[in-house]
A and B are shown apart, each in its own frame.
Chain A
Amino acid sequence: MADYIIRNGFVFDPILGINGDIMDVAVKDGKIVDAGDVTKATEIDASGMTVMAAGVDVHAHVAGPKVNVGRNFRPEDKLFSCSPRSGIKRMEAGFSVPTTIRTGYLYARMGFGFSMEAAMPPLYARHTHEEIVDTPIIDQGALPVFGNNWFVLEYIKENEVENTAAYIAWLLAQTKGYGVKCVNPGGTESWGWGMNCETVDDVVPYFDVTPRQIVDGLIAANEMLGLPHCMHVHGNSLGEPGNYGVTLDTLKIAEGHKPNNEFGRESVLHHTHLQFHCYGGESYASKSFESKSKEVMEYVNSTDNITFDLGVVTLDETTTMTADGPFEFHLSHMNNLKWANTDVELETAAGVVPFIYNPKTFIAGAQWAIGLELGLLIKDPMKAYITTDAPNAGPLMRYPRVYKWLMSAKARDDMLDNVLKYGDSVRERCYIGELDREISLYELAMMTRAGPAKTLGLSHMFGSLKAGLEGDVVVYPYNPESDTDDPEKIEYAFGNCNTLLKGGELIVKDGEVVSNGKQKRTFWVNAKTNENPVVERDISEKFKRYYTVTQNNYAVEGHHYVPNPYVIEVDATK
């Protein structure tokens, strides 16, 4: 493997405290090394450009059954967005739900090295892994969903945290999953009967347990196991006007829980796409819809054990998809577009609905503003990560546009003055008008690599240019001294990196993808627990009586589905 030295770039690395210093970054045998440790290295001239560790995406929907429903049921998403094969590059297609090939190339062009698929239905784990295998270049992991799983509901109802933890460990091993995801806790099981849980105290039909108990129990089990990532929650009442109270109730469940892990993670709860959960008002129809981002952020800023990602609305036509089945049904009634839904036995459900965030409507404008407000109100950017909940609030390829809005007050003012039809109302009923903060490149590096790597428990591999970490380095054609006049340069630069090294391999050279990557890995967590005959018996019983596959046909075997695994071992036997 060739060695590389990237010379004279403006380097940003919050872990090392490097803030725009001009220096060299070296990669040897696939890892970062001190610049003096390489001799015959290939030189890359980064003068006048920005150098960072490759990006880490904490939450995106880029592989799995619902993503593929999005692709297959939206031929229109491919209109005007196909790229022919050329050289080593295979065919690419799709805008809001790109093909796996395009997903890999998109991440590479944006300078990312790792992405977490944010919701994997366990019964469909094979599908998720098949797509991951066919996604070139980037390393990936996937979070199985637990918040509506019958085992979890039954154990938590009886307050059996140890059994919950044993079941989680078993399921991670079966599905080759990375951590604990919880979507609309209890609500998606209720959806099995066409119902929902709208607050943390609504009771799940038959199972007689509440979302509050589920979130609390999953956090406790997650910490009992000492998993690298904290419990990852998408709360109840997503997207509902007035839901910020439910959000605060959900966040407060983390009080009293302490992180327990060997990975340097400090949070016990990651709340995803928080933008959708910070709404005031009573309905969309009324004039009362308003931002409550400040109220939520006051709480987040006052705690140490919570992280979140933004979920910024990018004002595009996109494809929403979530394991929040009742939400998608509700959404389909709002826009009367096509609706796909799949309820998954004993485990979860999911829905998919196309959506147009129209800048000519007040609501879409306010949603756009709320997402950005969260990024601008955060005190510690290591706790707030930039996402679009791709493709829910906006397509993956819009990340650089979001950076532009966060980094430039001028760009935001242009949106409010010239693009949004109700920019004045948005200023009035949201906080965006009073925020003149501009996220710096140093803070951007926290919000897109150092922070997400930390909360995923991967800071020993990604998110920094510290010697010994993975050789994932990106050079953006952005000069922090002379390119500050035009916000468009931000969007262009972060969508079209000049150079990407992934694990020491040259993937993007002079802005062109030159390799499909040779060592793409699937990350999963193998948590060892003590033998638990009760859980073993329960699993065996449920498979015999209620699953439609046998227990022996449930596990995702490694050979084809996870051909190049990176297994993180956790010992929870003590």
Chain B
Amino acid sequence: MAKIVTDVVCPFCGTLCDDLEVALDDSGEKILEVYNACAIGATKFLHSQAEDRLTRPRMKQEDGSWKDVTYDEAVEYTAKMLVDAKKPLMYGWSSTSCSAQSIGSELGEEVGACMDNTATVCHGSTLIAVQDVGVPSATLGEIANRADRVVFWGCNPAHAHPRHMSRYSIFPRGFFTGKGSKSRKMVVVDPRKTDTAKMADIHLQLEQGRDYELLSAIRIAIRGEKLPETVAGIPAKTIKEVADTLKSGRFSVIFFGMGVTHSLGKNHNIDIAIAVTRDLNDYTKAAIIPMRGHYNVTGSGQVWGWQFGYPFCLDLSRGFPRYNPGDSSSNDLLIRDEVDAVFTLGSDPGAHFPVGSVKKIAQLPSVCIDPHITPTSAVSKLHVPVAFVGVEVGGCAYRMDNVPIETRKVVEPPEGMLTDEEFLAKVLDRVKKIKGVA
């Protein structure tokens, strides 16, 4: 009979669902099925058991072929690369545990690295906006229990965060929202008619890149001031209707995604979205929550916050923490040829950075720590596969609302395989020895 592991936390997206059940075979070594998870989450668990999975580090040869190396050799290469570099970039940190991030911070401090996480290409603009105007927010349970007005702005949870609506935002019957989706009005703002938009009570199909104007118009409408006939392609009447809907609710929430964080306006879009939320609090209760992507991108911002005081774009090269997005951010550093080695862990810049940046990674001494074969591992000199956090090793992760949850170990990793934390600890130890500080 299959063994069922309950209360498993999904290490895929920022929704961090913690009610998964995983069925194991009699030996307890093989995952048979994943219950309650969305398709993406289930695949992550099942993929960890792929037969063609890499289990040992491999080094790229001059002819482009790969040669298996030991973990010790991988540690040696990584440590030497970081020590030799004048200004290494240590990027990623979003798909690993906080304890690994914490050791990585110490390593970055030791070698004077520039450290950045995936927020730099997703919600970094949100973090900047929060530094400008703050953020009235709430945990997802507050939304489930209280929110009767839900806005999805520039995001498509039906596809990107598949269980968000059922667990937290639209369908749950909360303490004060006993009728579930019938207790709620749903507004979607998106230039596309997405599957999320199709479910909305009101879909504002605005003109591409006009988010700032529309948010500004809603702010004006909330205050009861006069509007032009149309803004961002939306009639004034509809805008007023949305403003009235939000004002008349007992608890309104705005969820927003990369449709606004990285479209025209960037952090300014979020500035005004937060301002709308702030204004709404003069009439009712309102909160705003970013739809964070990786399951622990939020955690890396937290760890760096308490260790260095900034959530991303850290420059530790002068011996004390500095922060200047646009200058100390990964793509700017790569494009300006300012870094001379690239260490990647827990993310895939090869798939998401501009091609110019990826070419630079290919040219530099580089290490990619990742259980999967990815575009980043393909362009790196050394690829170190590690155990899957949340599947083969536990560790803390922060949900999109900053709630920390301990992910669970479900199965053993392949024999002899290191975890992120173990590999980083070995590299840190080696770096200290090379530098003579241990």
Mark A residues whose CB is within 8 Å of B: 63, 65, 67-68, 71-75, 77-78, 82-86, 90-94, 97, 99-101, 123-124, 126-127, 130-131, 134, 150, 191-194, 206, 329, 332, 337-346, 349, 352-353, 545-550, 552-553, 557, 560-561
**With contacts A82-B320, A91-B320, A344-B139 known, is A548 near B281, CB below 8 A?**
no
In the complex, chain B residues 74-127 whose Cβ is within 8 Å of any chain A Cβ: 98-99, 102, 106, 109, 127
B135 within 8 Å of A by Cβ?
yes
B69 within 8 Å of A by Cβ?
no
B311 within 8 Å of A by Cβ?
yes
Decide if A126 touches B7 in the complex (CB within 8 Å). Answer: no
Decide if B133 touches A338 in the complex (CB within 8 Å). Answer: yes
For the complex with contacts A123-B141, A546-B175, A548-B403, 18 further pairs of A-B residues with Cβ separation under 8 Å are A84-B318, A85-B320, A90-B106, A93-B309, A123-B139, A127-B302, A192-B251, A206-B176, A332-B134, A339-B133, A340-B135, A340-B136, A340-B137, A341-B135, A346-B145, A546-B144, A546-B145, A549-B403
B149 within 8 Å of A by Cβ?
no
Decide if B144 touches A345 in the complex (CB within 8 Å). Answer: yes
Decide if A547 touches B141 in the complex (CB within 8 Å). Answer: yes
Residue of A nearest to B304 (CB): A72
In the bound complex, what is the Cα–Cα distance between A57 and B6 (angstroms)?
A: 41
**With contacts A130-B396, A340-B130 known, is A91 near B319, CB below 8 A?**
yes
Expressed in whole angstroms, the minimum distance between the Cβ of B7 and any Cβ of chain A is: 4
B35 within 8 Å of A by Cβ?
no
Name the 10 nearest CB pairs between A and B, nearest first. A345-B141, A338-B134, A84-B319, A126-B404, A343-B138, A82-B320, A552-B7, A194-B285, A548-B141, A72-B305
**With contacts A84-B318, A550-B19 known, is A339 near B278, CB below 8 A?**
yes
Residue of A nearest to B288 (CB): A341
B308 within 8 Å of A by Cβ?
yes
Of B127, B133, B175, the residue contacting A72 (CB under 8 A) is B127
Expressed in whole angstroms, the minimum distance between the Cβ of A191 and any Cβ of chain B is: 8
Decide if A94 touches B137 in the complex (CB within 8 Å). Answer: no
Residues of chain B lying within 8 A (CB to CB) of residue A63 = 306
Decide if B139 touches A127 in the complex (CB within 8 Å). Answer: no
Residues of chain A lying within 8 A (CB to CB) of residue B168 = 548
Of A77, A352, A549, the residue contacting B309 (CB under 8 A) is A77
Expressed in whole angstroms, the minimum distance between the Cβ of A325 and any Cβ of chain B is: 9
In the complex, chain B residues 123-158 whose Cβ is within 8 Å of any chain A Cβ: 127, 130-142, 144-146
- 10 pairs of residues in contact across A and B, judged by CB atoms under 8 Å: A73-B131, A75-B309, A84-B320, A337-B134, A338-B133, A339-B133, A548-B168, A550-B7, A550-B19, A553-B406
B248 within 8 Å of A by Cβ?
no
Of A78, A150, A342, A353, the residue contacting B323 (CB under 8 A) is A78
Decide if B308 touches A93 in the complex (CB within 8 Å). Answer: yes
Decide if B18 touches A553 in the complex (CB within 8 Å). Answer: yes
In the bound complex, what is the Cα–Cα distance between A67 and B305 (angstroms)?
A: 9
Residues of chain B lying within 8 A (CB to CB) of residue A72 = 127, 130-131, 301-302, 305, 309-311
**With contacts A192-B285, A340-B137 known, is A75 near B320, CB below 8 A?**
no
Decide if B7 touches A553 in the complex (CB within 8 Å). Answer: yes
Decide if B131 touches A75 in the complex (CB within 8 Å). Answer: yes
Residues of chain B lying within 8 A (CB to CB) of residue A546 = 141, 144-145, 174-175
Expressed in whole angstroms, the minimum distance between the Cβ of A78 and any Cβ of chain B is: 5
In the bound complex, what is the Cα–Cα distance between A343 and B301 (angstroms)?
A: 20
B46 within 8 Å of A by Cβ?
no
Residues of chain B lying within 8 A (CB to CB) of residue A75 = 131, 309-310, 323
Decide if A99 touches B308 in the complex (CB within 8 Å). Answer: yes
Q: Which of A339, A346, A553 has the most CB of B within 10 A?
A: A553
Residue of B nearest to A123 (CB): B403
In the complex, chain B residues 366-405 whose Cβ is within 8 Å of any chain A Cβ: 395-396, 398, 401-405
Expressed in whole angstroms, the minimum distance between the Cβ of A496 and any Cβ of chain B is: 20
Decide if B320 touches A134 in the complex (CB within 8 Å). Answer: no
Of A73, A82, A193, A561, the residue contacting B250 (CB under 8 A) is A193
In the bound complex, what is the Cα–Cα distance between A485 and B115 (angstroms)?
A: 50
B23 within 8 Å of A by Cβ?
no
Q: Which of A63, A77, A341 has the most CB of B within 10 A?
A: A341
Decide if B98 touches A193 in the complex (CB within 8 Å). Answer: no
Expressed in whole angstroms, the minimum distance between the Cβ of B41 and any Cβ of chain A is: 15
Expressed in whole angstroms, the minimum distance between the Cβ of A491 and any Cβ of chain B is: 25
Decide if A91 touches B98 in the complex (CB within 8 Å). Answer: no
In the bound complex, what is the Cα–Cα distance between A194 and B251 (angstroms)?
A: 9
Of B102, B250, B309, B318, the residue contacting A94 (CB under 8 A) is B309
Residues of chain A lying within 8 A (CB to CB) of residue B301 = 72
Decide if B251 touches A193 in the complex (CB within 8 Å). Answer: yes
In the bound complex, what is the Cα–Cα distance between A427 and B250 (angstroms)?
A: 46
B246 within 8 Å of A by Cβ?
no
B187 within 8 Å of A by Cβ?
no
Residues of chain B lying within 8 A (CB to CB) of residue A73 = 130-131, 134-135
Decide if A343 touches B139 in the complex (CB within 8 Å). Answer: yes
Residues of chain B lying within 8 A (CB to CB) of residue A74 = 131
Residues of chain A lying within 8 A (CB to CB) of residue B60 = none
Of B19, B131, B278, B406, the residue contacting A557 (CB under 8 A) is B406
In the bound complex, what is the Cα–Cα distance between A574 and B284 (angstroms)?
A: 48
In the bound complex, what is the Cα–Cα distance between A333 and B318 (angstroms)?
A: 39
B28 within 8 Å of A by Cβ?
no
Of A65, A91, A192, A342, the residue contacting B316 (CB under 8 A) is A91
Expressed in whole angstroms, the minimum distance between the Cβ of B35 and any Cβ of chain A is: 14
In the bound complex, what is the Cα–Cα distance between A78 and B403 (angstroms)?
A: 25
Of A71, A92, A192, A353, the residue contacting B306 (CB under 8 A) is A71
Decide if B321 touches A91 in the complex (CB within 8 Å). Answer: yes
Residues of chain B lying within 8 A (CB to CB) of residue A84 = 318-320
In the bound complex, what is the Cα–Cα distance between A206 and B174 (angstroms)?
A: 14
B9 within 8 Å of A by Cβ?
yes
Decide if B402 touches A342 in the complex (CB within 8 Å). Answer: yes
Residues of chain B lying within 8 A (CB to CB) of residue A553 = 7, 9, 18, 405-406
Residues of chain B lying within 8 A (CB to CB) of residue A78 = 309-310, 321, 323
**With contacts A338-B134, A548-B167 known, is A85 near B7, CB below 8 A?**
no
Residues of chain A lying within 8 A (CB to CB) of residue B145 = 345-346, 546
Decide if B142 touches A192 in the complex (CB within 8 Å). Answer: yes
Of B18, B278, B285, the residue contacting A193 (CB under 8 A) is B285
**With contacts A72-B130, A553-B7, A560-B396 known, is A130 near B285, CB below 8 A?**
no
Residue of A nearest to B284 (CB): A194
Residue of B nearest to A91 (CB): B320
Of B142, B321, B406, the residue contacting A345 (CB under 8 A) is B142
In the bound complex, what is the Cα–Cα distance between A67 and B430 (angstroms)?
A: 34
B59 within 8 Å of A by Cβ?
no
Q: Which of B6, B281, B306, B402 has the most CB of A within 10 A?
A: B306
Of B132, B138, B167, the residue contacting A338 (CB under 8 A) is B132
Expressed in whole angstroms, the minimum distance between the Cβ of A368 and any Cβ of chain B is: 26
Residue of B nearest to A549 (CB): B18
Residues of chain B lying within 8 A (CB to CB) of residue A353 = 134
In the bound complex, what is the Cα–Cα distance between A342 and B278 (angstroms)?
A: 13
Decide if B320 touches A83 in the complex (CB within 8 Å). Answer: yes
In the bound complex, what is the Cα–Cα distance between A73 and B137 (angstroms)?
A: 14
Decide if A126 touches B406 in the complex (CB within 8 Å). Answer: yes
B339 within 8 Å of A by Cβ?
no
Decide if B142 touches A552 in the complex (CB within 8 Å). Answer: no
B363 within 8 Å of A by Cβ?
no
B276 within 8 Å of A by Cβ?
no
Residues of chain A lying within 8 A (CB to CB) of residue B305 = 68, 71-72
Q: Which of B285, B307, B318, B401 has the most CB of A within 10 A?
A: B307
Decide if A343 touches B142 in the complex (CB within 8 Å). Answer: yes
Decide if A342 touches B309 in the complex (CB within 8 Å). Answer: no
Decide if A329 touches B281 in the complex (CB within 8 Å). Answer: yes
Expressed in whole angstroms, the minimum distance between the Cβ of B311 and any Cβ of chain A is: 5
Expressed in whole angstroms, the minimum distance between the Cβ of B397 and any Cβ of chain A is: 10
Residue of A nearest to B172 (CB): A548
B287 within 8 Å of A by Cβ?
yes
Decide if B134 touches A549 in the complex (CB within 8 Å). Answer: no
Decide if B405 touches A549 in the complex (CB within 8 Å). Answer: yes
Expressed in whole angstroms, the minimum distance between the Cβ of B331 and any Cβ of chain A is: 20
**With contacts A94-B309, A553-B7 known, is A345 near B139, CB below 8 A?**
yes
